[in-house]
A and B are shown apart, each in its own frame.
Chain A
């Protein structure tokens, strides 16, 4: 098989494919559409709005609800990771309120 580097990549691909052996019983793949549940639960109570507005953009509430009680510093680190790494558009003045809410886990923060 001869291909000219850097040009006509698709043509090269066709040539390469045409030159290969044909597999038997090839699986037929069918176009597929799905509809995923969104998880539309919301937090309630004092201070919930800031969590609903900032945290549920990327993930459903369940991500937080299954967490064990974690130290406040851990929650602070998680919120900052969401901002710095995953680019969550959280306003600086909201960070403390979010951390406070998350630290008030049912079993209490450590």
Chain B
């Protein structure tokens, strides 16, 4: 018997954490791909269901129910450079997510190595600290992990564990300045309302260096695309760390601690580590590599209006378009190749909505004959001169994928 068949039944007490059972749980009697999607991961296991069961979220790709991992459906990225809140991807570490946030009692604490410890209410924060806005891509460290070969464990995302939003809030620097950072401060540690579900489990916390925290770009957002943040994206406050992977973007930010010693908590010191090598790349099985915390993002670009297998017109111009982002800086150019990377041509870039955000690109292709096959590859070069590589990186955590993407089209 296949041990991975399963059924809905009353949960054990331990498994259920005191929640009331939900009726009508999804059964696996129908193939998941019949009402979902099948990602072309190497070796398979890419079938996922769609879900509309999560609060404030539209149709999402279900990667995990509890704690939620919800992927943005790919077609969303073709609609514009800002990812709508109701389809912005969701990723939580612990299932200890609050049921409720009361905006009247919520407080953001600032404490530690500061002159004035503070505990601030939302209306005061919003009213009084200078408002800033910034477009920035939030991307999971493990976005696209499912495409790693050999495969690695973890959330098996395709490319939709990312999104771009216009964030509004206040500068972390302004908040820290008002608290008065004392001399000798080394790092600033952030934590949110998320709680471990196991006693003694490590509370999710992440730290930035004091200089990074005060760089004037790192901000605390209370709005996302002009609205309150969706609950599952970190309502009411979220740390925004432009150009850095999302692990630092603390959701439901409630506690800011200025440290005068290095942060030795698990999540900062031992989790989210990458090989200290170019592109965090190692040979599978390689050991003894120095590991460092994941940090700056790298450039990526994608086709959004056509998927592999799509049909385009022969002997006529077809629009190919997509999105790109520079990672830790802006997009300098997006080039396209239709001959396997031998020749590259510049695509047309859309408006610059902010260097940390998505940028639209578009181009025309005109395949000569019906039946001809066209592989369209796109390559982003960022304003630091870093271009996407043509060979995928590999590391055991499945982090920082940014290989040149290709879609295979057929002219008809």
Instruction: Convert B120-148 into 0s and 1s, putting 1 for each residue whose CB lies closer than 8 angstroms to a CB of A.
Output: 10111111111100000000000000100
What is the CB-to-nearest-CB distance from A26 to chain B, in angstroms, rounded to a whole number?
A: 5
Residues of B within 8 Å of A36, CB to CB, are 54-55, 66, 68, 97
Q: List 11 A-B contacts (CB under 8 A).
A: A9-B111, A13-B119, A13-B124, A20-B129, A27-B227, A29-B103, A35-B99, A40-B25, A59-B67, A66-B48, A67-B153
Residues of A within 8 Å of B123, CB to CB, are 26, 29
Cβ contact of A10, chosen from B41, B44, B118, B122, cutoff 8 A: B118
Residues of A within 8 Å of B12, CB to CB, are 52-53, 56
Q: Report the contact-size class of chain B (Cβ under 8 Å from the partner).
A: 35 or more
Whether the pair A23, B201 counts as a contact (CB closer than 8 A) is no
Cβ contact of A3, chosen from B28, B102, B115, cutoff 8 A: B115
Decide if A91 is an interface residue (CB 8 Å cutoff): no
Instruction: Convert A1-34 into 0s and 1s, putting 1 for each residue whose CB lies closer than 8 angstroms to a CB of B.
Output: 1010110011011101110111100110111111
What is the CB-to-nearest-CB distance from A10 to chain B, in angstroms, rounded to a whole number?
A: 6
Whether the pair A43, B3 counts as a contact (CB closer than 8 A) is yes
On A, residues with C-beta under 8 Å from B are 1, 3, 5-6, 9-10, 12-14, 16-18, 20-23, 26-27, 29-48, 52-53, 56-63, 65-70, 74, 78, 85-89, 101, 104-107
Majority DSSP secondary structure for residues of A touching B: loop
What is the CB-to-nearest-CB distance from A71 to chain B, in angstroms, rounded to a whole number?
A: 9
Decide if B266 is an interface residue (CB 8 Å cutoff): yes
Whether the pair A39, B7 counts as a contact (CB closer than 8 A) is no
Q: How far is the CA of A39 from the CA of B27 in the complex (A)?
A: 11
Decide if B45 is an interface residue (CB 8 Å cutoff): yes
Whether the pair B25, A41 counts as a contact (CB closer than 8 A) is yes
Contact A13/B26 with A21-B128, A22-B128 known, Cβ cut-off 8 Å? no
7 A-B pairs besides A40-B22, A69-B45 with CB distance below 8 A are A26-B123, A36-B97, A38-B21, A41-B28, A48-B3, A60-B65, A87-B199
What is the CB-to-nearest-CB distance from B100 to chain A, in angstroms, rounded to a whole number?
A: 4
Whether the pair A17, B9 counts as a contact (CB closer than 8 A) is no
Whether the pair A70, B55 counts as a contact (CB closer than 8 A) is no
Residues of B within 8 Å of A86, CB to CB, are 196, 198, 201-202
Cβ contact of A85, chosen from B45, B62, B266, cutoff 8 A: B266
Whether the pair A30, B1 counts as a contact (CB closer than 8 A) is no
What is the CB-to-nearest-CB distance from B318 to chain A, in angstroms, rounded to a whole number?
A: 34
